[in-house]
Amino acid sequence: MLIVKHLKFNYHTAAEDESAMEFPDFSLARGEEKLLLGASGTGKTTLLHLVAGMLTPEQGSVELAGEDFGAMSGAARDRHRGRHIGIVFQQPHFVQSLTVLENLMMPGLLTGQTMDQSYAQELLEELGLGHKIWAAVSALSAGEQQRVSIARAVVHKPGLILADEPTSALDDGNAKAVLNLLRRQAQKAGAALLIVTHDNRLKSQFESKVELPLRTGIAHGATKTRES
Amino acid sequence: MKLNLVSIARRNVFHRPLSTGLSVLLLAFGVGMISILLLVQRQLTEDFDRNINDIDMVLGHKGSPLQLILANVYHVDVPTGNISLHEAEEIVAHPFVESGIPLAYGDNYRMFRIVGTEWSYPAHYDCELSEGRAWDVPFEVVLGAGVAEKEGLSLGDTFFSAHGLTDESDVHADKTFVVVGLLKRSGSVIDQLILTSVETVWAVHEHVDAEAVAAGEPMPEREITAMLLKKRNPLAILTLPNLLRDSNMQIALPSIELNRLTQQFGIGLQTVRAIAVLIMVLSFISVFIALFNSLRDRRYELALMRTMGGTPGSLFTLVVTEGLWMTCMGIAAGLLLSRVGIAVLSSIVSDQFHYDWSQMGPAPGEWLLVLLAFFVGLIAAAIPARSVLKMDISRTLGAGR
């Protein structure tokens, strides 16, 4: 599903040489899961954005569902990402003017796929949000918002689910619940799951891990602002 | 639930009712004012043109030439005074003049003017009888369509006239008018007049025995209010004023007086138009700012839509569509507003001047107004929307932490 090779990225700030980042190679097949661990300043978010085709690497390639992001035009990249990746952001954002259910229909709408509304409804029921289908997203609690954002990441049955620090702001119990939720949904969708985090509590939960090396002396400056 | 870019744009627009409301309100007032100006202009031009209808000159008592035109062509002002029928007929007999229609009036029935004239007057406006016949003997009248409709008069009905043109206090209760004919609606001023013979008007005022007039007894020094003239030779316009220099009469040209009139209240119209354009400009700035602010507040939301497969093009379309929703609502509200306005004006005008101003169809230039407003709205939306095209989603989402 995902093959990452020889990735190198540079933010081209004033301290040009120092902000260059290199990332380890890894790959992920459908149904697999992987944890990307890294302390602050190791370029976790940068890697996540590279994997999602939101940033263009200086070197190397990101191949998703058999296609290389580097070979695509901007709009094609957006569509490819939308179709094959579901992203759970650390802080959930929604289209504020739309209801919960309508927000779940967005991925399908934006990629031009026909989506099954009953599946979206089912998903919300399963996450205990059946009564909030027609609610405004602003009326949801923080926990509900996170569950809706997970539902939105899987509703269009993507091949890869990316989660950015999904647990770092949660207590142990909730972190475990969210992790289980992500895993269950990824499994159900037959998707690969890639979790990017600095949360060491998750370390023991994953067999497959990539640890980003701490880059001494360059952890400050431009890259620092990119990190959580 | 049908969700597409257009409906999402509508939801986004209604999600911010205050700033949307302000933009729509401003645009509605701008478009409404210009539209109502266009409607009034059309109405005035049509009324003016239809009523001038080949009347080249108006002969009447000396005074304000504009007043002479307004009183005798449009029947909205009081006459300048009476002239001698004999002298007026001499002018009609001039070789440069083709024909003349005498007008004599001074009475009203419920504010509708009773005009003594000849059959050539309604004929001049292609006004035909719908019922009955033309007047024959004094005190027989033919009603314009508007009079008959408003007063509910029909053939054989009788009424008394009141002295003057604007009030009903001094009723000539001794003279009974009989309706002998009804005219078809012509859209001209005739619709609002009660027509009769010139002799009738004399009879009312000079207390002449009606039978004697009918018998053709000579009546010394008869007066009329004005004579509508059609020229045979363009030189009439230059020659006739000289002939009248020593008389109490003058010649006024409807086309020239109307030009003067429109120039005079043209300044007023221009001011209103300038204000309307200013309001429209403000409304577009308001659309611009509304979108600009909303885009700033929603930049994570828009970046998020990009991560879900939205292309810069589709997001640009979304934002422009939001601007167009506001523009279209403003235009629609403006056109509605102008119709309400013209309906109110119409009721005032028809009460005061007996003019019918109820035309609601699109005025000439209104399509252009709508098109123009739409395109300016498009531009006002496209400028802030461009920022969506250049958005760096990685940076936007990264900064969202």
Q: B116 - beta bridge partners?
A: B104, B196
Nearest alpha-carbon partner for B69 in B61, B353, B104 = B61
Nearest chain B alpha carbon to A116: B1
B296 touches A at CB < 8 Å = no
Q: What is the pLDDT of residue B255?
A: 85
Q: B394: Cβ–Cβ under 8 A, 6 or more apart, which residues?
A: A49, A54, A55
Name the pLDDT band for A13 (thresholds 50, 70, 90): low
Q: Pick from B210, B227, B252: which residue ends a domain?
A: B252
Nearest alpha-carbon partner for A8 in A52, B374, A40, A19 = A19
Q: Is residue B20 part of a domain?
A: yes
Q: Please answer whether residues B225 and B104 qualify as being in contact, where contact means their C-beta atoms are separated by less than 8 angstroms.
A: yes
Q: A9 - beta bridge partners?
A: A21
Nearest chain B alpha carbon to A49: B394
Q: B246: Cβ–Cβ under 8 A, 6 or more apart, which residues?
A: none
Q: What is the pLDDT of residues A117-145, one digit of tens each?
A: 888 998 899 888 889 999 999 999 988 99
- Percentage of residues in chain A having pLDDT higher than 70: 90
Please tell me whether residues B39 and B97 are part of one structural domain.
no
Instruction: Report CB contact under 8 Å: B3, A75.
Output: no
Range of the domain at A93: 2-226
Give the CA distances from residue B397 to residues A6, A56, B41, B293, in Å, rounded to whole numbers and listed in that order. Answer: 25, 15, 55, 18
d(CA A169, CA B86): 107
Tokens representing B385 are 């929307």
Share in percent of chain A as helix, strand, coil (round to 5): 40, 20, 40
Q: Is residue B114 part of a domain?
A: yes
d(CA B23, CA B294): 13
A107 touches B at CB < 8 Å = yes
The SS3 call for residue B27 is helix
Q: Please answer whether residues B262 and B52 qualify as being in contact, where contact means their C-beta atoms are separated by less than 8 angstroms.
A: no
Please tell me whether residues B74 and B112 are part of one structural domain.
yes
Q: What is the pLDDT of residue A39?
A: 84
Q: What is the pLDDT of residue A221?
A: 42
Q: Is residue B304 part of a domain?
A: yes
Please tell me whether residues B38 and B126 are part of one structural domain.
no
Please tell me whether residues B152 and B229 are part of one structural domain.
yes
Q: What is the pLDDT of residue B378?
A: 93
Q: A8: Cβ–Cβ under 8 A, 6 or more apart, which residues?
A: A20, A21, A22, A23, A57, A58, A59, A60
Q: Which of residues 70-89 of A touch B (CB under 8 A)?
A: 74-75, 78-79, 81-83, 85, 87, 89
Q: Is residue B257 part of a domain?
A: no
Q: Pick from B195, B224, B252: which residue ends a domain?
A: B252
Name the pLDDT band for A222 (thresholds 50, 70, 90): very low
Best of A78, A80, A161, A198 to disrupt the B interface (most B CBs within 10 Å) is A78
Nearest alpha-carbon partner for B221 in B387, B29, B82 = B82
Helix pair B312-353, B17-52: axis angle to 10 deg: 40
Please tell me whether residues B238 and B163 are part of one structural domain.
yes
Instruction: Report CB contact under 8 Å: B3, A109.
Output: yes
Nearest chain A alpha carbon to B310: A110
Q: Please answer whether residues B61 and B83 qualify as being in contact, where contact means their C-beta atoms are separated by less than 8 angstroms.
A: yes
Q: What is the pLDDT of residues A68-118, one digit of tens each?
A: 988 888 889 999 999 999 999 888 889 999 999 999 999 888 888 878 888
Q: What is the pLDDT of residue B57?
A: 92
Q: Which of residues 40-69 of A touch B (CB under 8 A)?
A: 45, 49, 52, 54-55
B233 secondary structure, DSSP code: S
Nearest alpha-carbon partner for B103 in B74, B132, B131 = B74
Please tell me whether residues B99 and B170 are part of one structural domain.
yes
Nearest chain A alpha carbon to B12: A97
d(CA A97, CA A95): 6
Nearest alpha-carbon partner for A21 in A39, A1, A44 = A44
Q: Which of residues 11-30 of A touch B (CB under 8 A)?
A: none
CA B322 to mean position of chain CA atoms: 36
> Whole-model pTM?
0.76
d(CA B301, CA B317): 15
Please tell me whether residues B110 and B209 are part of one structural domain.
yes
Please tell me whether residues B74 and B219 are part of one structural domain.
yes
Q: DSSP letters along A118-163, please?
A: HHHHHHHHHTT-GGGTTSBGGGS-HHHHHHHHHHHHHTT--SEEEE
d(CA A158, CA A153): 8
Shortest alpha-carbon distance between residue B188 and chain A (Å): 55
Please tell me whether residues B376 and B313 are part of one structural domain.
yes
Sign, CA dihedral B179-B181-B184-B190, equals negative
Q: Please answer whether residues B132 and B180 qualify as being in contact, where contact means their C-beta atoms are separated by less than 8 angstroms.
A: yes
Are β-strands A59-64 and A67-68 bridged in parallel, bridged antiparallel, or unpaired?
antiparallel
Q: Is residue B108 part of a domain?
A: yes
Please tell me whether residues B121 and B35 are part of one structural domain.
no
Counted domains in chain B: 2
Counted domains in chain A: 1
d(CA A103, CA A133): 10
Q: Is residue B258 part of a domain?
A: no
Residues in chain A with CB shorter than 8 Å from the CB of B398 are 45, 49, 225-226
d(CA A69, CA A55): 10
A216 or B69: which leads in pLDDT: B69
Which of B15, B303, B314 is nearest residue A96 as measured by Cβ atoms? B15
Q: What is the pLDDT of residue B356?
A: 67
Please tell me whether residues B95 and B202 are part of one structural domain.
yes
Please tell me whether residues B232 and B113 are part of one structural domain.
yes
- Amino acid (1-letter code) at residue A216: T
B314 touches A at CB < 8 Å = yes
Instruction: Report CB contact under 8 Å: A96, B298.
Output: yes
Sign, CA dihedral B58-B63-B65-B67, equals negative
Name the pLDDT band for A183 (thresholds 50, 70, 90): very high
d(CA A88, CA B308): 11
d(CA B82, CA B222): 10
Tokens representing B294 are 């909303």
Checking ipTM against 0.90, whether it exceeds it is no
Q: Is residue B203 part of a domain?
A: yes
- Percentage of residues in chain A having pLDDT higher than 90: 34
Range of the domain at B328: 5-48+267-399
Mean pLDDT by 10 residues, chain B (401 residues): 83 92 92 89 79 86 91 87 90 91 89 91 89 90 90 90 76 83 88 91 68 56 89 87 88 87 78 87 89 89 91 93 94 94 82 67 87 92 91 78 40
Nearest alpha-carbon partner for B120 in B99, B137, B105, B97 = B99
Q: For residue A172, give the CATH number of its domain.
A: 3.40.50.300
Which of A49, A75, A105 is nearest residue B3 as measured by Cβ atoms? A105
Instruction: Report CB contact under 8 Å: B307, A52.
Output: yes
